[in-house]
Structure formats: structure tokens, C-alpha cells
Amino acid sequence: MLTHAQVWSAIDRLAERAGLSASGLARRAGLDPTTFNRSKRMTAQGRARWPSTESIAKALTATGTPFEVFVTLVSPNESPRRPNESARRPAVPLIDFAEAGNGGHFDAGGFPAGDGWHRIAFPSLDDAHAYALQISGQSLAPAYRDGDVIVVSPAAPIRRGDRVVARTRDGEVMAREFKRRTPKSIELKSLSAAQPDRTLAATEVVWIARILWVSQ
């Protein structure tokens, strides 16, 4: 039988897997920061308050977590991960975002290749080719700030409104919001007022991949 305590514990574990507090998870999901706070789990009269399916769905989307993984977090036998357990997590390749445009870091399909990649522990992903980029500077603020790490999945489907990383034929690598793709062009919205929106010829884009997760 599914209990109130199990569901809330699963949300706490989900936040911990993403390196977030409960309020940080809510913000990442576009919800009120207090949505997952402990004070919201019981009413003033002492009745149990359950999280909505919509809020759980948004939290899973924001962290790139499949529903079947969330189900395992509901299990009372599943203990939250502690920091010293990170070495046992699967690792993903990592380079600095500013280096991503240099030759040799990606193959023609947009998969990590060559030397220069570090490895960081990260919860299991469905994409064996996922990789991480560390942001340097404030050129992508306020979406991403200096030191943030974004995890990118070449295999994830891309929809309007998703944040993506794209590479052009001249080697430019950019982070933008995906707006639209037509047979002749790809429209990308800027994440920062300091950078313009871009409309690129479809033939100019070598690859485009979805950003699944960011540490902030």
C-alpha cells in the first residue's frame, strides 16, 4: 500500500539525487519554492496533504528522471544516497563549455570523443552517450551561471521550449532554447539578454542535443 510518508520520502530522494534541497527542486520544476517543503505536507488541522501528480511530473521532467526510477525511490527499502556514495554512481564525461567548440571533443554525431574529458559521478541516465559541460563566466546568466554544470543527452527527444546545445559547421557551440525547426531552418531563442536569438540554416547545424539537468 502506498503511503503519504513514502511519496514524500521519494520526493526528498529525488531532490537529493539532483543535488538539490526540496525548495530547490520546486524552483527547478517551475513551482512555488515552498511546494515540497515539510511545512506543506500536513494541514494546520493535522491532515495529510499529498503532492499533486502535476507537481511530481514537473519535478521528474526538470531532473530528467524517468517515472520508473521515481517508483524505485518510493520503496521504503531505498535509502537516500549520501555524498560518500557518489563514487559508486555511473560517471559521465565532463569538459568546460568554453572548450566544447574546440576540435576533437565530439564526433560527427555529437557524441563525446577524444581526450580532454574528465569524469563526474551522476545518477544513471537512459543515454549512454550523455555528457556534462561546465559553464564559465556569466554569458548565459541568468539561465546558467559561472560554475553550473549542465548534463546533455544526444538521445533525448527535443520539443519546443527545451533548452539545447547546438553545434554549427564552423565549430560554434551554443546553448539556447529550441523554438522551431522547419525543413530549411532551426530557430533558437537566447537564454541571455546579452546574446541574440538565432535562426540557422538547417544545413548549418551539425547536431543539436537536449539539456536534461543543471546543478545550481
Domain boundaries, the chain: 4-79, 89-215
What beta strand segments (E) does 30-98 contain?
91-96
pLDDT (0 to 100) of residue 82: 45
If one compares 75 and 141, the residue with the highest pLDDT of the two is 141
pLDDT of residue 80: 44
Q: How confident is the model at residue 78 (pLDDT cuts 50, 70, 90)?
A: very low
Question: 205 or 114: whose pLDDT is higher?
Answer: 205
Has residue 33 got a pLDDT over 80? yes
Of 31-40, 123-132, 198-207, which one has max mean pLDDT?
198-207
Q: What is the pLDDT of residues 113-169, one digit of tens each?
A: 887 888 877 766 677 888 999 998 888 988 998 888 899 998 888 999 999 999 999
Q: Over the stretch 39-50, which tens digit does the pLDDT of each residue have?
A: 888 887 888 899
Place of cell 543539436: 208
Q: What are the distances in angstroms from CA 17 to CA 37, 59, 126, 128, 131?
A: 17, 12, 15, 18, 17
Residue 8 predicted with pLDDT over 70: yes
Strands across the sheet containing 131-134: 118-121, 91-96, 131-134, 149-153, 205-215, 163-168, 173-181, 185-189, 198-201
Multiple choice CATH, 89-215, 3.40.50.2300, 3.40.50.300, 2.60.40.3470, 2.10.109.10: 2.10.109.10
User: Residue 86 pLDDT > 70, yes or no?
Assistant: no
Residue 8 near residue 40 (C-beta atoms within 8 A): no
Q: Is the pLDDT of residue 76 over 80?
A: no
> Residue 151's pLDDT is what?
92
CATH of 4-79, one of 1.10.3470, 3.30.1460, 1.20.140, 1.10.260: 1.10.260
Banded model confidence at residue 17, pLDDT cuts 50, 70, 90? confident
DSSP state of 5: H
As a whole number, mean pLDDT of residues 24-41 equals 89
- Average pLDDT over the chain reads 85
- C-beta atoms surrounding 97 within 10 Å: 22
Are 4-79 and 89-215 in the same CATH fold?
no
Residue 216 has a pLDDT of: 60
Q: What is the mean pLDDT of residues 21-31?
A: 88
pLDDT digits (tens, 9 = 90+) for 52-70: 999 999 999 888 888 877 8
Of 189 and 93, the one with more pLDDT: 189
Backbone dihedral angles phi then psi of residue 61, each to the nearest 5 degrees:
-65, -45
Q: What is residue 49's DSSP assignment? A: -
Whether the model clears a pTM of 0.85, i.e. scores above it, the answer is: no
